[in-house]
Amino acid sequence: MSHSTNSSLLSQQRIDVSAEGDLVALTIGNATIKMPYETALQLSQWLRVRGKEAKRRAGDMSRHWSALAILDGLKG
């Protein structure tokens, strides 16, 4: 997974995450850190929680779902 940021807080940097054997490699710009998958999972959880917190503080109360399906026709 690769992504480039374009924010006033960060200069644009190449961001990449890949699996290398039993390690996860995170590259931001020219810096790469390799970590065990357990550490990568912990880091991803921290980022998710803090991202939700920042979203809430920014006043964005939108949910992930933008529409709900009507499933009346599905009966078992």
Integer Rg of the chain from CA: 18
pLDDT value of position 11: 72
Q: Is the pLDDT of residue 69 over 60?
A: no
Confidence of residue 4 (pLDDT cuts 50, 70, 90): low
| Spatial contact of 28 and 13, defined as CB atoms under 8 Å apart | yes
Is this prediction's pTM over 0.75?
A: no
Read off the pLDDT band of 19 (50, 70, 90): very high
pLDDT above 70: residue 70? no
Please, are residues 17 and 26 in contact by the beta-carbon 8 Å criterion? yes
Give 20's contacts (C-beta < 8 A, 6+ positions apart): 34
Q: Estimate the share of the chain in helix, then strand, then coil, as percent rounded to the nearest 5.
A: 30, 30, 45
